[in-house]
Structures are given as structure tokens and as C-alpha cells.
Amino acid sequence: MSREAVNEYRHEKAPSNILRRLHDRVKLDPGKHGETEPGALLTIKVRKNRSLVMSLSTCMDCGACLTVCPAYLTTRNIRNSPLGRITLAKSMMERRINDDVINEAYTYFWQCLTCRRCTWACPFGVDVADITRTIRSILYELNLVPSYVAGVIDNLESTGNFLGFPEDVLKELIINAVNEIRLEKGVDVRVKVNEAAYALLLPSACADYTIALNTFKGYVLLLNELGMDFTLSTRAPDITNYGLFMDERHMRLIAERIVEEARRLGVKLVIAGECGHGWRVFKNYVIPRLREYGIEGTHIIYIAAEAIKRNLVRFNASLNDDATYIYMDPCHYARGGDLVKEPRFVLRSVVSRYMELNEKPELAICCGGTSGMLAKEMEELSTKYAELWYQGVINKGANCIVVPCAACKLQMDRILPKLNKLHERKITFTGLMDLVYKVIIPRKTTKISPYPNHEDLT
Ligand code: SF4
Ligand code: SF4
């Protein structure tokens, strides 16, 4: 591959002050490699990683993954494809590389959505997203990280939330949501903040407290209707975890904050809000850690599905008759997140007209905004990625996309106005709990039990 073919989209690199903070937190010393040049260091680190070497050796270059990769399908750039990334990683493993190859690696491993669509198509089960994450982690040791991703991780580690909101701002946002519920639903909901309770509710602060407040109101109203004693935390207010996209050490650090807060508050249950990649970390790392302390973890959608099945909430589905909805699986719910049937059950229960974007959930199309692609400088490329699902929505004739994921919502918020203008459409989006919120007919009084037996709901 010649250098000229490297495309024009590249993440701005993180400044040294943020990198120093991140390195310090995980006790990483990039200076310890002394005079070893970056190309040689990369080759050493790639060769040392046995699981990476194994994955690279398993790939047969058959190209089956090309037919499903959203990055390749929309850009037709072979370097921006699973096979292109594998070829690049192999060249890093096989020979000492120069600055051009390092530049290429930074460019294309950060253009991958880590959506794992290719993994489902690969006859040998090669997980290119995993290869991407490993190479990114090695690049991080060479100080090569997108500024946007480093900034989000820094916020999550210093404040516990994606946008770096101070605690008093979070409290204001919560009060605002409670006031809106009173006005819209005529009911006073009870919300604890930083108090002992049966459950800790973990929203996606970046979306649920900003552009998707109705999602948050859906969590709160549902839990109130169920009489569940729950609290929010301003110290660990966010399920998002960008450590997953860059470096496992940071993923663990961010996740441990939630475990610590759950223990400090003495809860028995932690409830995840709508977030695809956050759920992946929560399900695979946070829940096993919580269980070490006798605490359980679940997703709000599981609770909503059980509540509907058992007629524990009153609702009127005709209140969602104003649109034809289309369900778009978040990548990390559909591929390895085991959150496929319940969102569909909830959606079928609370709307009359609904269709599927993906014929097979395991081949769900990524929104194009995850894994660092929400960075401003990547908006143009991210819009190309988004054309894939947008065309699917047009073809199916729906006018409102249902996406129970914070990253998808942030992506739709910035991309849909542009695409709608281009295609002269008025397609909108919503979270799933927003739709639950709209249809609930609240009871006027709900008895909150301090120690209710909610285990069977989770
Ligand atoms: S993880 Fe997604 S974006 Fe990355 S190579 Fe695979 S299919 Fe393409
Ligand atoms: S489908 Fe699998 S084996 Fe074939 S090129 Fe892609 S990663 Fe390699």
C-alpha cells in the first residue's frame, strides 16, 4: 500500500498534558523504552501479544468480511476494512516499520467502529474489533490517541461522567427531569441522590441528561411505578466507558468506580441504562465484579419487559400512534450483549406500528458514531458510515428510529438533520424508554418499599 492512498480523515492527537494524566493513573511510563525507536517498539509489542499473533495467523485473507464492514461498504477503501487492518497489523508483526506505517496504523485503526460485524461474517471467527483494540492500546503506549477519546476518558476518570459535569450540575439536571415528569404526567416521583437504597440507577449521562432526557424520565417513572427504592449517584453517574475503545487498563479503572460506589451506597442491585458499549463492559466486567460483593446487575430493559409481562404498569400504547417506528439494534446489544428479544418485546407492547431495520440482529448496522467517531473532525466520514442505515430506513418507509443506546443517539442528533436535508425527509429518532415514558399512565400514589423483593424482576 502506498502512502498516497492514506485517506484524509484522521483524529487530532491528544495533547501531552492529558496523556500524562492518563498514563499516571494506570502507572504507565512510556519513557522507560529509552532510545528504542517507535517502529521497532511497535513490532516488539505486536510480536509479544500471543492472542494478537494467533488472530493474525488465523486470517486466511478470504475477504468474506468485506461484504459486511460498514466502513468498507461506505468508503470502498480497502485500508479502511477488516482485511486492510489485518494486512496492516501483519506488516507490523513481520518487519520493523517506519513512520508512514505508524501513521497509517493510527489513521485506520481509529477509523474502525469496533462494531464486530465482520466477526460474525468471518468463517474462522477472527475478531477484528479485538485486533483493533489491541493495536490501539499499543499505540497509546506510544502517545498516539485521539484527543476526543483521551478527553472523554479523562472526564470519566476524574468526574465519573462523559461530559465532565460537576456534581451540582448533575443534581440540577435530575431536579429538572423530576419537575418535567410532574408537569407532563401529573405525578410526584421520588428520586434519591447519593443515598442508601436498594438499587443504584446508572444512566448514560452524556445522552440521558442532555439530548435524551425522555429516556431518563422513562427509567425514573417506571421504577417509581414499580415501587423500587433506588438512588442516583453524582460520583458514579455514568455507564459509558471509553476505556473499552482504547485501553483495557482504563476500562477497568472507569468500571471500578461504579463497583466502589455501589458498595459505598450499600445497594443490592445496579441497573444499567441505555448504552451499547457501556452494557458490554457492564455485562462482562462490572456484573462479575459486583457479584463478588453480593450485588446483582441488570439492564432497565429487562426490568421494563418483566413489568409489562406481569401487568405491573398501566399504559396506553395508542399514545405512540404518531409514527411508524423502526428498531435499530445497538451493536453491543446484538453481538454478544444478549439484549435482543426484550427490547423487541417492549417495543411491540408500547407502539402499534413497528418494523425491523436488520433482518438478522447479529448483522446489525452500526450507527457510525461509536468508538471515537463522534470527534468533530471525523464527522464527514461518520456521515458516510451513517448512509448505510439511513438508506435502510428510507427503503423500509419508517419515520422514527428506535435506538436504546447513548452513542447512537448522539450520532443521530448530529447526523440526521444533515441527511434529512440531503434526502428531503423528516426522519426522527428516540430511545426505547422514551416510548415507555410516553405511554405509562401513572398511579397517583405509589408505595416505595425500602427493602422490596425485586430479585424476581431482574
Ligand atoms: S469492527 Fe466493524 S468497522 Fe471495524 S473492521 Fe469490523 S466491521 Fe469494519
Ligand atoms: S473473513 Fe476472516 S479470514 Fe477472511 S479475510 Fe476477513 S478476517 Fe480474514
Provide the pLDDT for residue 457.
53
Q: How far is the CA of 434 from the centre of ligand 1 (A)?
A: 30
Integer distance in angstroms from the first to the last C-alpha of the chain? 51
CA torsion 437-386-157-197 (nearest 10°) is 20
Q: Which ligand is nearest to the CA of 118?
A: 1
Is the C-beta atom of 57 inside 6 A of ligand 2?
Answer: no
| Half-sphere exposure in the Cβ direction for 341 (13 Å, CA) | 2
Give the whole-angstrom CA distance, residue 163 versus residue 167: 12
Antiparallel, parallel or unpaired: β 428-430 and 325-327: unpaired
pLDDT (tens digit per residue) in 392-416:
999 999 999 999 999 999 999 999 9
pLDDT (tens digit per residue) in 248-259:
999 999 999 999
Average pLDDT over residues 287-303: 98
pLDDT (tens digit per residue) in 348-360:
999 999 999 998 9
Q: How far is the CA of 68 from the centre of ligand 2 (A)?
A: 11
Average model confidence (pLDDT) for the chain?
93
The atom of ligand 1 lying closest to the CA of 117 is 7
Say if CB 448 and CB 422 are below 8 A apart: no
Provide the pLDDT for residue 4.
45
Average pLDDT over residues 58-86: 97
Q: How far is the CA of 391 from the centre of ligand 1 (A)?
A: 19
Say if CB 149 and CB 16 are below 8 A apart: no
Task: Pick the residue whose CA is nearest to atom 3 on ligand 2.
Answer: 59
CB-based contacts of 179, cutoff 8 Å, min separation 6: none
Say if CB 240 and CB 209 are below 8 A apart: no
Of 276, 175, 274, nearest to 232 (Cα)?
175
Provide the pLDDT for residue 6.
66
CA-to-CA dists, residue 205 to 139, 162, 190, 281, 403, angstroms: 28, 7, 19, 16, 16
pTM above 0.85, yes or no: yes
Is the C-beta atom of 112 inside 6 A of ligand 1?
Answer: yes
Is the C-beta atom of 71 inside 6 A of ligand 1?
Answer: yes
Provide the pLDDT for residue 112.
98
The answer, yes or no, to whether residue 421 has pLDDT greater than 90, is yes
Provide the pLDDT for residue 277.
97
The answer, yes or no, to whether residue 453 has pLDDT greater than 70, is no
Residue 453 vs residue 324, higher pLDDT: 324
Domains of the chain, start order? 3-145 (1.10.1060), 152-313+442-457 (no CATH), 317-438 (3.40.50)
Give the Cα-Cα-Cα angle 348, 349, 355 (nearest 5 degrees). 15
The answer, yes or no, to whether residue 225 has pLDDT greater than 80, is yes
pLDDT (tens digit per residue) in 16-25:
999 999 999 9
Task: Pick the residue whose CA is nearest to atom 6 on ligand 2.
Answer: 65
Provide the pLDDT for residue 456.
52
The answer, yes or no, to whether residue 454 has pLDDT greater than 50, is no
pLDDT tier, 452 (very low <50, low <70, confident <90, very high otherwise): very low
Q: How far is the CA of 62 from the centre of ligand 2 (A)?
A: 5
pLDDT tier, 64 (very low <50, low <70, confident <90, very high otherwise): very high
Give the whole-angstrom CA distance, residue 12 versus residue 46: 24
Residue 401: beta bridge partners? 326, 429
Task: Pick the residue whose CA is nearest to atom 6 on ligand 1.
Answer: 118
Give the whole-angstrom CA distance, residue 282 versus residue 272: 8
The atom of ligand 1 lying closest to the CA of 69 is 7
The answer, yes or no, to whether residue 171 has pLDDT greater than 50, is yes
